[in-house]
Amino acid sequence: MFQTMMEHMPVNMRNIAIKEFGSIEQWKKHYMEVVSSEKMQKGYAKVVEWYDGKDKFLSVAQNPISKEVAESYNRRIEAILQKLAAKRDCAVDSFEVKEIVGEYGFIMKQLSQIKEEKGFMLAQAQYYRNEKIKPMADEKYGDGASDFFAQAIDKIPTVHMGPAAWLAFE
């Protein structure tokens, strides 16, 4: 599971994790310790919910998208994050920011093959709030980008909506 996750996660996220833990081996050791905890097992139950069931989750895990497709998605995610970082002077609930976050959620949904992106994206917001991740994200995208990303993602509507519906959401 670790290997599949590592191979198919966005390159920027993989590089941040490797930098944080010092090596892939140390990252894997940490991962194995964390996934065995009760808290993480409850988290996995939530992920299974995102996929609309254990069978769908297992199918996606066992049949991941190709490396080429994942790299394409990763390039798109990077472009989206660059666009979002450039909007740091806008309010997090502005049309421009909501449009970019909607695009980000849509791409993450497609990449991860989940049923609905809300929970997954809120997990991304928590990722950007991680004290170990914040300095690296801010270094890459500019001061305050990590907090801005998290706050913008938090504005995702509570009812599932596709990207076009997000644009009209007020």
Position 101 scores a pLDDT of 95
Cβ of 48: how many Cβ atoms within 10 Å?
A: 15
Position 45 scores a pLDDT of 83
pLDDT tens, the chain, 170 aa long: 677 777 777 788 788 888 888 988 998 888 888 778 888 788 778 888 888 888 888 788 778 788 888 899 999 999 999 999 999 999 999 999 999 999 999 999 888 888 888 888 998 999 999 999 999 999 999 999 999 999 999 987 643 444 444 444 43
Position 157 scores a pLDDT of 66
* Start-to-end Cα distance in the chain: 39
Cβ of 33: how many Cβ atoms within 10 Å?
A: 10
| DSSP per residue, 6-26 | HHHS-HHHHHHHHHHHSSHHH
Position 60 scores a pLDDT of 82
